[in-house]
Chains A and B, each alone.
Chain A
């Protein structure tokens, strides 16, 4: 290798090192999880919730559409007739059993899109882990939101019916 080549090579190396050297003075981009957590955007497809109407009744009418449309076949719904005295949902039937196998779910969001009563939503929770397979099959009591609006999500907004951000 000639001297000229060697000097050119050295120059290129020094230029590269100057680029990396400048990063020493730039602020780090790392988000120090778990002390800092990133808030996902409004569209994010995370953990499922079954929403409630404003008066507290469940929205789910056990139509099985989410179960049929799920590409991973992760949802299992058992319907039962709505008791007349204390109706659980606002229709003839309600979901007696609603399970989502979070290990099969690939968070596609088709269930949310197809739900005719805007019941199932995918919220922005992404910390879904467990130690056993059994505990990752979410049952209805884990999925129904605790009070109306607890999931923080409105499918109308997500679908973009005029009010998306």
Chain B
């Protein structure tokens, strides 16, 4: 079945021009791109920024030919809070709560990146126990984030029961974070040089073990509900396909890249925080579509559970923060003084490769903190996935990319 593209090259350029120079009011529901021969027009539709399915305040200016998406332009910046600039006015320890709030679904991976970057500048390494605890927290955070992804992706396709079950599991993870640090979503648990405090002695390890057992059982339930479900497959197989070359071109990493067959995971490629001590696999698929990404993320949850179990078995005794008192208990007024330099550290966040660049000029406040966010690159690649697809597939595509707008906009 051949589809006629209504806009041709010259008209595409004019369209871009008009989108750039048109005022906000005129953009909505404007009719552009009239085909001279057939008289058919395309419609410019604004999806977002207030939209329940865009995973945040993402605005997509979509040009529609009936139900078919002809072109798409993502517009971001609706959640920009200037975190990178704010970091320059706070001491190194005060930056950590800001960092928490970017990728708010998995804050501990964010904290991991930042504290690793500052520790690299200081030239220190936290003790083994702290590193193992950090790995456990990061993996629990990854499970929590993937549960949100699964729940919301299912909810957008009207499978609201999976949404409820996933959030039930996520509540257990948030309760674990609360036990350990005092706050559910923004734990502020990692410190430069270690972690804030040790694991609670009574009940924590048992709670984690019970949670992992229940998680494995519930993952089987989610597989039973979704993986072979013909409706789920019809909505996801073959939708929003991306190839490995396109991923390289756009800087797409994480589960999306792994679903195209490339086994790249920062935890294996550039291990940090003692990840090399643990055995886990990198799940990959080859199809590169939304269903492949679904399978990859489900398998990743299983692997994360495996890592947490290994951490609990092998957790060594010892201090949880470096001995150096200047780092462990910095001067309360002035904070921590970091020698001048630059460092760049990447971590594997549930979205993809998250990079932290910290530049120091020798004072107690960072000169620059720059985050390379995976969701930014993925949203940039979104038009690739949804052009020449139906509008209904747009929802599936956004869900399978799993952007977090706090990460995109910072």
Tell me the nearest residue of chain B to A159, going by C-beta.
B197
Report if B93 contacts A (CB, 8 A): yes
Q: A14-55, CB under 8 A of B: which get 1 and which 0?
A: 011001100100000100000000001111110000000000
Q: Are A165 and B332 in contact (CB under 8 A)?
A: no
Q: Are A165 and B201 in contact (CB under 8 A)?
A: yes
Report if A142 contacts B (CB, 8 A): no
State whether A43 and B228 are in contact (beta carbons under 8 Å apart), knowing that A110-B93, A114-B332, A159-B197 are contacts in the complex. Answer: no
From 34 to 79 in chain A, residues with beta carbon under 8 angstroms from any chain B beta carbon are 40-45, 65, 68-69, 71-72
Instruction: Determine which of A9, A109, A122, A159 lies in contact with B230 in the assembled complex, contact meaning CB atoms within 8 Å.
Output: A9
User: Shortest CB–CB separation between residue A124 and chain B, in angstroms?
Assistant: 9
Given the complex, which residues of B lie within 8 Å of A41, measured CB to CB? 175, 178-179, 182, 200
Report if B188 contacts A (CB, 8 A): yes
Report if B198 contacts A (CB, 8 A): yes
Tell me the nearest residue of chain A to B228, going by C-beta.
A12
- Interface size of B by CB at 8 A reads 33
Q: Are A43 and B332 in contact (CB under 8 A)?
A: no
- Interface size of A by CB at 8 A reads 34
Question: What's the Cα separation between A69 and B175 when bound, in Å?
Answer: 27
Given the complex, which residues of A lie within 8 Å of B175, measured CB to CB? 41
From 198 to 229 in chain B, residues with beta carbon under 8 angstroms from any chain A beta carbon are 198, 200-203, 221, 224-226, 228-229
Instruction: Determine which of A65, A122, A158 lies in contact with B333 in the assembled complex, contact meaning CB atoms within 8 Å.
Output: A65
- Extra inter-chain contacts (12) besides given A158-B182, A164-B197, CB under 8 Å: A8-B228, A15-B228, A16-B226, A41-B182, A65-B332, A65-B333, A68-B333, A69-B93, A109-B183, A122-B182, A164-B200, A165-B202
Binding site for B on A (CB under 8 A): 5, 8-9, 12-13, 15-16, 19-20, 23, 29, 40-45, 65, 68-69, 71-72, 106-110, 114, 122, 158-160, 164-165
Top 4 A-B pairs, shortest CB-CB distance? A9-B230, A43-B182, A71-B94, A12-B228
